[in-house]
Chain A
Amino acid sequence: MSTPGDGIPVQDTAFVSEQKRRAAEGGLNLKPSSRMPAPGSPEPRRAVGAAPAARIEDAVFSCRDVSVLYADKPGLSNVSIDIARQQVLAVIGPSGCGKSTFLRCLNRMNDTIAGARVTGSILLEGRDILGKEQDVAQLRAQVGMVFQKPNPFPKSIFENVAYGPRIHGLARGSADLDDIVCASLRRAGLWNEVKDRLSRPGTSLSGGQQQRLCIARTIAVQPEVILMDEPCSALDPVATARIEDLIDELRASYTIVIVTHSMQQAARVSQRTAYFHLGELIEVGETNRVFTNPRQKLTEDYISGRFG
């Protein structure tokens, strides 16, 4: 893990020298990809293939050589990436490229899948979260997650939001809990729609409202990072627009990582974009740059709609 770039604050441009270094090492890191031929995407194009570790100063997350095996089937290979504070990082790529797998590494949700094995190192604020001594409940309170399908608990709207603060003992008394619930629903832009029916079941809301309820539920625990796994894929365009506005607002207080299959959405909400392909990080950089001037052929092919 002692790469030349370690510790030196370099922006995305670092990946050029990184590539040279890897080429000099005889393409050691390319091995996993040669075991996974890409259907429909010619292998030779990615001769310099493996992704550079884009380093960022004062990163929230710092992932190095993260690999995931699902019952010995590779799900993610040697991903190294930094995630910047109070920014939105969009993770894009074709189906099965490992973007959700990567997301689920960040709060160790892969633990809940039998047979999944994660290697490498993921530092959250400098602390390795993959270690045995890491308390996953505490980690997940710090790194919240919003899922693809809105999935409120079979409880009232109030209880849905109050649940997290309750199990983590965040509220001093019921008045305090009321405040937390109210503030979270406000931040999620749901308060005005539900303030008169907090005792109704969470499932009585519309899909878009349910998703905002799930965001409120995540915010209520006061996380540092919010992971979103295709949060709008089950929603209509109007509800999607509201969630996207919300993401833009939340960026001021939270670091957000959003997996999306919509490149337009990635372009709209994110400041940085990472492109994954067949379990590897191909390219990461400022969203504008990645979409207008991709440096990898694979990225270009994907965003120009040649496959995916």
Chain B
Amino acid sequence: MAVVTAKRAARQRSGERYFRAATLVAALLVLGLLGGVALSLLHGAWPALAHFKFAFLTREIWNPVTAQFGALAPIYGTLMTSLIAMLVAVPIGCGVAIFLTELCPRGLRRPVGVAIELLAAVPSIIFGIWGLFVLAPLLQRHVQPWLIAHLGPVPGIGRLFQGPPFGIGVLSAGLVLAIMVLPFIAAVMRDVFDTVPDVLKESGYALGATTWEVIWNVVVPYSRIGIVGGIMLGLGRALGETMAVTFVIGNAHRVSASLLAPGTTISASIANEFTEAVGDLYTSSLVALGVLLFVITFAVIAAARFMLLRLDRRALSGV
């Protein structure tokens, strides 16, 4: 007698149908949640957006007493801290990834790789207190006076390094963010560099290229899209990071030319002020900040996904 009887086959088919339905519901639930979050954010932000209109994006004022709110300072702070973080973390992360994939002795490869992944697992609150109690005083006493004395008088970029050394401020927040996103960037880039086919590297070496020339002329061009994808993922995390930034940025709704001055970011503002927000317009303005962050982060992640997708497709089509 056949092991698979008609009855048994029918039962298997119906089981498959239920399983498919269950996974479909799970997938739709995620989409539904995303839509729900977006909708409720927009709904909550509507009073503020309707009241201030476009000026919400361009005004620096943030005055709960007179109920005047503008998002310029948090937007500026968010973009500026993320920019600093990227400027510091991308070259270092790239270097770490190149070292791990091309230069590292085999025995060291795993320990260093694991250390980087562990760094990514450190909770952000730890980075926050470390930033406030260790990094900020260090910067205040040793680094910032030097920056003010030497870079302050330089025309042009000098404006970025003026004023008193507070320790906490946009620069400190950017540096803490850099340390936090570094492991992400390094890990993604390491994976991307690993996708470069050995035959391609070998053909570089076979032409008499040095290791440096192979990295710069073969590995980097081949993986450039993936590199951008990795940077974008790091950027997405930097834009949304709340806790560590709140500790070290100083939380002042100001747009200052100097990187040493305190500032604020979108997520830091929301975290700091939500509990004390009285009045509908105040609360609504904070939610509107959330909408802005949602849009910025969503755009960055979407761009990163798109670029990684293109990389995958190219890898599949074969080079």
Contacts and interface: CB of A to CB of B under 8 A. Distances in A.
A and B interact: yes
A163 B208 contact: no
A114 interface: yes
Interface residues of A, number: 29
Interface string A159-195: 0000110011000000000000000000000000000
A140 B200 contact: no
Contacts of B210: 137, 167
Contacts of A218: 206-207
Interface stretch (A41-49, A143-151, A298-306): A143-151
A264 interface: no
A151 B218 contact: no
A147 B197 CA distance: 13
Interface string A120-156: 0000000000000000111111001101110111110
B208 A139 contact: yes
Contacts of B222: 153-154
Among A107, A114, A154, A214, find the residue whose CB has the most chain B CB atoms closer than 10 A.
A154
Nearest to B198: A112
Contact of A137 (B197, B208, B218, B221): B208
A109 B208 contact: no
A221 B203 contact: no
B16 interface: no
Given A153-B217, A153-B218, A154-B222, A112 B208 contact: no
A145 B206 CA distance: 6
Contacts of A168: 208
Interface in B178-210: 197, 199-210
A99 interface: no
A107 B222 CA distance: 25
A153 B206 contact: no
B272 to A, nearest CB: 48
Given A153-B217, A153-B218, A112 B202 contact: yes
B213 interface: yes
A294 B221 CA distance: 49
Given A153-B217, A163-B217, A109 B199 contact: no
**Is chain B's binding surface mostly helix, strand, loop or mixed?**
helix
Contact of A167 (B201, B203, B213, B319): B213
Among B199, B201, B205, find the residue whose CB has the most chain A CB atoms closer than 10 A.
B205
B106 interface: yes
Contact of A109 (B197, B200, B205, B319): B205
Contacts of B200: 151, 153-154
Given A147-B199, A214-B203, A138 B208 contact: yes
Contacts of A109: 202, 205-206
Interface residues of B, number: 20
A33 B207 CA distance: 34
Interface in B205-261: 205-210, 213, 217-218, 221-222
B204 A137 contact: no
A139 B206 CA distance: 9
Contacts of B199: 147-149, 151
A217 interface: yes
A265 interface: no
A26 B89 CA distance: 65
A168 B210 CA distance: 10
Contacts of B319: 151-152, 154, 203
A245 B35 CA distance: 64
A7 B179 CA distance: 65
A221 B206 CA distance: 11
Nearest to B199: A151
B230 to A, nearest CB: 18
Nearest to B223: A154
B239 to A, nearest CB: 31
A221 B202 contact: no
A147 B202 contact: yes
B310 to A, nearest CB: 13
A36 B199 CA distance: 29
27 contacts: A112-B202, A112-B205, A138-B208, A141-B208, A145-B203, A147-B206, A148-B199, A149-B199, A151-B202, A151-B319, A153-B221, A153-B222, A154-B222, A155-B221, A163-B207, A163-B209, A164-B207, A164-B208, A167-B210, A167-B213, A168-B208, A217-B203, A217-B207, A218-B206, A218-B207, A221-B207, A221-B208
Given A153-B204, A154-B222, A167-B210, 14 more contacts: A139-B208, A144-B206, A144-B207, A145-B203, A151-B197, A151-B199, A152-B319, A153-B203, A154-B221, A154-B319, A167-B207, A167-B217, A203-B319, A218-B206
Interface of A: 107, 109, 112, 114, 136-141, 144-145, 147-149, 151-155, 163-164, 167-168, 203, 214, 217-218, 221
